[in-house]
Amino acid sequence: MSKELRFDEKVAIVTGAGGGLGRSHALLLAARGAKVVVNDLGGSFTGDGKSSSAADKVVAEIKEAGGQAVANYDSVEDGDKIVKTAIDAFGRIDIVINNAGILRDVSFKKMTQADWDLVYKVHVLGAFRVTHAAWPYMNDAGYGRIVNTASAAGIYGNFGQANYAMAKLGIHGFTQTLAAEGRKRNVIVNTIAPIAGSRMTETVLPKELLDALKPEYVSALVARLAHESNSDTGGLYEVGGGFFAKLRWERSEGKTFRLGRSITPEDVDASWKDITQFDKTTHPGSVAESMQPIMGNVEAGPSKGGNALIDVDAALGYKYPEFTSSYDERDVSLYALGVGAAKDPTDERDLQLVYELSGKGMKVLPSFGVVPAISMVFTQGKNGIQAPGLNFGLDRVLHGEQYTEVKRPLPRAGKLTTKATVKNIYDKGKNALVVTEFITYDEHGDELVKNELTTFVRGGGGWGGERGPSADVNVPPDRAPDKVIEDKTSENQALLYRLSGDWNPLHADPSFAKAFGFQKPILHGLCSFGYATRHVAQAFAPDGNPDYVKSIKARFASTVLPGETLVTEMWKDGEHRVVFRTKVKERGEVVISNAAVELHKELPKAKDRSAKAAASSGGATAAVPNSADIFRAIGAFVGGNPATAEKVKTNFLFKLSAPESAWTIDLTTPPGTVTEGVAGKAVCTLEMSDADFMAMATGQADAMKLFSTGKLKISGDVMASQKLGFLKKLTPEMVLAETKKRTGGAGAGVPPTAAAGVPADYVPTTDDVFAVIEEYLKQNPDLAAKVNTTYLWKIGSKTWTLDLKGAGSVKAGGDAGECTLELTEDDFLALTQGKADAMKLFTTGKLKISGNVMASQKLQFLSKLDPTKAVEVIAKRRGAAAPAGATAPAAASAPKSSAEAQAPKIFAALTKRLADNPGLQNDVRATLKFVVDGNEQTFAMGGNDPKKVDATLTINDADLVALVTGKATAKNLFQHGQLKVEGDVTVAHRLGFLNKLV
């Protein structure tokens, strides 16, 4: 029970206290110790007449109950007299309850000036006069509590009460300002909007309701607000019939137009929903808060302009979602063919561009750098990703200019991430230019390519914005070209080029091209761009090596039809710069103008990461313990303490990364063994980085902490990992002893596995592994006879035949085998190095087996391949292939990025299936959004609104593949957290339509 709210020694004025609410307020305050001035004119509720009896009766009542009160019979318009009564009788004034009021209800049409004025005078002027007279006393005392009386009619409006409603809401405005002015002097001012049965309301409300509306209910709130303990000020409260509530203003989030451009009624109309909807709101409590959006808009500065097609404010600076892509030698070759390379297949220099095993090494055309950017534009466009404020379709755009800069010669394969930004928007009068910058990074996060794509938007200009640079640059000098190369495109050139990612039907579909006013599908601007780049490299790069091209800038002046002959005219402009233009020979028209190529002075190199890798492996440094030493020390320890294995009885597999290694601590049979690689069946597998393992084993990191921060992953019998406590018994001396053994005492240590001719950062290739298999077969002549099967391996784009019949043999190529195994090169390498499990690869769909599936189980021996042996074999092999210790053999390709994203294919298949089976849609009846790594697509099924997504399903590409191929269930993926469902989860129960999609 909280303390009683008392008003001892406080002096209160209650106006209109002769009856109803006022009387009730006066009685309550007096009962709780206040000295009360009971003011009442004694008139009727319509403001007519006057008598002293009403106030006297209430004073008598108060006195009878032992309270103190005096009566006052003045009109509230003589507020100073009422206040004087308080000062004369009690010497001070603490509380004013402005309650007096009258009604002059009449429809507005019939309302007279007298009705209006009288209501104003009693409610508004009266509240002003009384408060104004009391204010100086309260200010001086530094204390005051004022409660004003409004009404629902004022807040919401009410028929027949135009005068009264005006007065009542006016009073709340009055309250809010007094609250602001009085706050510092502890003068607290609030408004109540009561409903109670009184003389004023008994004429309009039914009896039962009147009974519920006792004035006493309202007085409780008045007392709370008038109490010393109240610090809430400027509030508006609805009260009556037992209900108490506070009101506040609520404002929609609204719509803000940037300043400096005209705002038309149509603009307001178009934003009506934003202006009026209340799903996002604020509750401003002061003028300052109310002004916030306006101040924000002023701070944001003037609008940069725009029109219906382009809103510069919204679009400029927009960052597109990141885009990931990958490519390999096949993509590189296809692109080169697309831009007319290798028309003479015996030309070694051209062959380099299209043949990965070319004797001189494969080269990537620098203009290939446009491909990730263009793929991004088309992929995101297809998925509905658009910059805000760019409201035009493909039908309005032309590729205006292109600038491509490669930071270093492009690798022949890579995994890329591209980030794009709307960099500039120029108003060219009738038309507009939008410049988008694309920066492409390699898998290490190093910048590889920068593209600037300038889009010409027909009819997009005219808002009076910045015109941008206009002077032509790269104008050919006034002399005959230094070099000219002629190159005829083929009739199907566009069809070939579009396979590099530009799917615009304008380049393939005759009817589409006709609709655009072309006689037939035209060649891609970027195809001519590729031709020209090739020409410049051929003519000016040292030895025709395209790696020397640093950047290409071009303006697309006109179109080219496939089959026409391109003539590139080139002028040397300084030592490392070539200005060029390209014409169509048949028509003499310039198609590429204002163009230039910059050349590198010397070839930039990729960052050398091998040094770092070698250093972290600890292999090159003398007498520094590495993880291998620790494992060997563990081996020595368990060998000397058979009791350990007896207690632990578990087989642990440690998989370390960076650099990768695997060690088995097998303690199933005492004394137990520690071996490098996978041995026996691991009960508990621990995965962590080499560095973390070192930190843990040397006591610098805590296993629990590594685990809880996700740096240590434990699978299998998780609880068994707690039995590894014995590792703590390992002393630094034991580890150091192993280090010494390894390094031969002191001095320059050589890692035991290193073999001559193999660099420290050596990464085995598929070729290497098959060489090791061949070696293994030689050493195990019985094996082939036992297995008695031929295997065909499809690894990435290559095939290998492993013939395990008779003597057994290994050879590259082949197209038949009793058992076919298909997987990526990465997975193959992981598998044969014991870093991946065949069963797991199979169940996750990464390893496909066809033909005699069971025969695949006879391949266990692959996990027994000795990595040290591999290095020796490879060293020997390389020694034979390149006696001078040359670098990687031509055929050894870098490990390829694992399979490309399947999601787009699956989405396409799904779209088709849904179109073919309307019944399926009805089973689902929902709008589903799939988010799969970088790819997103929304499917609205069963007539659902595509904009209202019922559920968003987030899943990675591999899991999606597993789901659609039936290798995983939605429930299972969900429980493992691999499928996240936002929104209606039960929709995920209805994913049956995905079954066997591919």
Binding site for another protein (CB under 8 A): 647, 704, 707-710, 713-715, 717-719, 722-723, 725, 971, 974-977, 980, 984-989
Q: 């560095």: which residue's tokens?
A: 691
For residue 545, what are its two tokens? 């090596």
Sign of CA dihedral 667, 670, 674, 679: negative
Burial 200-238 (b: 16+ CB within 10 A, else e): bbeeebeeeebeebebebbbbbbbbbbbbebeebbbbbb
- CA 675, 677, 683, 688 torsion-angle sign: positive
Choice between 718 and 915, CB closer to another protein? 718
Report, in Å, the least distance between residue 457 CB and another protein.
Answer: 40
Quickly tell me which residue has 């270093």 as its tokens.
408
Min separation Cβ 663 and another protein, Å: 21
Catalytic residue among 164, 237, 320, 327: 164
Smaller CB separation from another protein, 688 or 769: 688
CA-based nearest residue to 131, from 117, 119, 146, 110: 146
Nearer to another protein, 151 or 685 (CB): 685
Q: How far is the CB of 722 from another protein (least distance, A)?
A: 4
Nearer Cβ to another protein (251/729):
729
Indicate the helix (H) or strand (E) that contains 510: helix 510-515
Cβ nearer to another protein, comparing 712 with 906: 712
HSE-CB of 148 using CA atoms within 13 angstroms: 34
To the nearest whole angstrom, how small is the minimum distance from the Cβ of residue 156 to another protein? 27
Q: Closer to another protein at the Cβ: 6 or 989?
A: 989
What 3-state DSSP class applies to 715? strand
State whether residue 878 is helix, strand or coil: helix
Of the candidates 72, 58, 70, the residue with the CA atom closest to the CA atom of residue 18: 58
Dihedral sign (CA 922, 924, 928, 934): negative
Q: Taking the complex as a whole, how short is the minimal distance between the CB of residue 241 and another protein, in angstroms? A: 19
> Is residue 763 packed enough to be buried (19+ CB in 10 Å), middle (13-18) or exposed (0-12)?
middle
| Least distance CB 969 / another protein (angstroms) | 11
- Our CB check for another protein shows the closer of 778 and 971 to be 971
Amino acid in the structure at residue 181: E
Residues 6+ apart with CB under 8 A from 298: 259
- Please, what is the minimum distance in Å from the beta carbon of residue 665 to another protein? 16
Residue 360 or 728: the one with the smaller Cβ distance to another protein is 728
CB of 703 to another protein, least distance (A): 10
Least separation in angstroms between CB 719 and another protein: 4
Task: Describe the crossing of helices 690-697 and 627-640 by its angle, rounded to 10 degrees.
Answer: 40
Strand pairing partners for 457?
Answer: 397, 432
Closest CB to another protein among 551 and 651?
651
Closest by CA to 384, choosing from 781, 939, 997, is: 939
What's the CA angle centered on 790, arms 784 and 795, to 5 degrees? 115
Q: Is 644 helix (H, G, I), strand (E, B) or coil?
A: helix
Q: Which is nearer to another protein, 187 or 987 (CB)?
A: 987
580 within 8 A of 570, measured Cβ to Cβ: yes
| Residue whose CB is less far from another protein, 38 or 684 | 684
Distance in Å, CB of 899 to another protein, minimum = 23
CB of 926 to another protein, least distance (A): 11
Give the residue with the Cβ less far from another protein, 903 or 988.
988
Do 13 and 29 touch, CB atoms closer than 8 A?
A: no
User: What number of other Cβ atoms are within 10 A of residue 609's Cβ?
Assistant: 11
* Helix segments in 801-945, DSSP class H: 825-832, 838-843, 867-881, 903-916, 918-924
Q: Between 390 and 645, name the residue whose CB sits nearer to another protein.
A: 645
Characterize the bridge pairing of strands 951-955 and 927-932: parallel
CA 785 to CA 776: how far, in whole Å? 14
- 330 Cβ partners below 8 Å, 6+ apart? 797
Q: How far is the CB of 996 from another protein (least distance, A)?
A: 22
Q: How far apart are CA 739 and CA 755, in angstroms?
A: 19
In sequence order, what DSSP letters do the residues of 261-325 get, joined into one string?
S---HHHHHHTHHHHH--SSEE---SHHHHHHHHHHHHHH-B---B-SSBBHHHHTT-BPPPEEE
- Torsion-angle region of 620 (φ positive above 0: left; ψ -120 to 50: alpha; else: beta): alpha
Whether residue 137 lies in the annotated active site: no
Whole-angstrom distance, CA of residue 328 vs CA of residue 589: 36
Catalytic residues, by residue number, are 164
